Amino acid sequence: MSEPNYSPSPSNELPTLAHRVQWAHELSLQGKTHEARALFYSPEIEAAEWERCLHLGQFLLESGHALEAIEQLSIVLDYAHQQQENHLRSVVCHNLAIAYRNLGYFELAAQFQQYSIAWGDLRSANHLALEQEVDQLTDDAACDLTGRANDAIIQQDYQLAEQLLNISLTREILYGNSDAQAADWGNLGIIHGLQGNHARAITYLWKAYLLHKQTQNLSAMGQDLVHLAEIFWALGRFQRATRCLSRSVHFFSLCDHTAEAQTACARLHELQRLLQVKQHDPLLN
C-alpha cells in the first residue's frame, strides 16, 4: 500500500489530517475500507483527539456507516459542550442530524438540525429575507437550509421544503459547488416525485445525477438512480426502471456501500418479479 503523492507539501513534511482524509476516500473507492479507517489512527497525525474524531465521523457518514459515525461525532459534541464552542456544536449537530436521518430516526434528526441552527448563524425563520441575502449565507448556514428542507420533506411540508431548497440552490449555483447543487436538485426531484409531478422529477433527478457524475460521487449517483427508478416505474417505464436500479447496485458496490447495494438489489429483484407478472399472458397457458 503506497500513499498518494501530494505535491504541494514538502517531501520531509508529515502528512496532515486533510491528506489522510483524502487518502482514506481514495482507498474507500478501491473497496479498502479497513485500510481507510486505519489512517485516522496513525500516530503520525498531529491533531487533537476531537479533530480526529470529527474527520473520522464525517468520513464514516459519507461512507454509509451512520451508526459508527454517531459514536465519533458524539465525542466531538461532548468536547464542544465542554469548551462552549458554538460553531463546532453547530457543525457536529448538522452531521448528527444527517446520520439519524439516514438511520430513519426522523424526529431525532429534526431535533439535531434545530440544534445546529440554534448554535449556528441561520437564526431567522424569515426565509423570504434570507432569499434576498443569499450571497451572505455561510457554508454552515446553507447546510442547515438543506437539512431543514429534508426534515420538511419527511414531515410532508413540501412547500416549505421547496422554498428552502431553492434558496440553497441559488447560493450553491452562485458559488459553483457542484455536489451541493446536485443534492438540492435531487431533493427537489424527490419533492416533485412525491407530488406526482413525474416529468419535472425526472428532469431534476437527472441534473443531480450528471452533477454527481462530474464530481465522481459514486454513492450519490447510486442514490439518484434509485429515485429515478421509482419515478420510471410509476410512469410504466418498467425496463428503464430496472436498468436504473441495476446501475445503482453497480455504483454502490464500487464505493463499498454494502447496505445501500443490498437494498437496491432487493428492490431490483422485486421489480423484476413484478415485471415478469405484468408481461405474463395467461392466454398462452
Q: How far apart are the first and last CA of the chain?
A: 59
Query: Among 139, 134, 124, 137, which residue's Cα sits nearest to residue 94?
Result: 139
Is residue 172 within 8 Å of residue 179, measured between CB atoms? no
Measured in whole angstroms, how far is the alpha carbon of residue 155 from the centre of its chain? 19
Rg of the chain, C-alpha, whole Å: 21
80 Cβ neighbours under 8 A, 6+ residues apart = 50, 86, 88, 89, 92
143-155 per-residue burial string, b: 16 or more CB within 10 A, e: under 16: bbbbbbbbbbbee
Q: Model confidence at 12, in pLDDT bands (50, 70, 90)?
A: very low
Q: Is the pLDDT of residue 33 over 80?
A: no
For residues 40-66, average pLDDT: 85
pLDDT of residue 136: 54
Share above pLDDT 70 across residues of the chain, in percent, rounded to a whole number: 85
What pLDDT is stored for residue 67 in this prediction? 93
pTM of the model: 0.69
**pLDDT, tens only, 121-170:** 654 444 445 445 455 556 666 677 888 888 889 989 999 899 889 888 88
What pLDDT sits at residue 281? 56
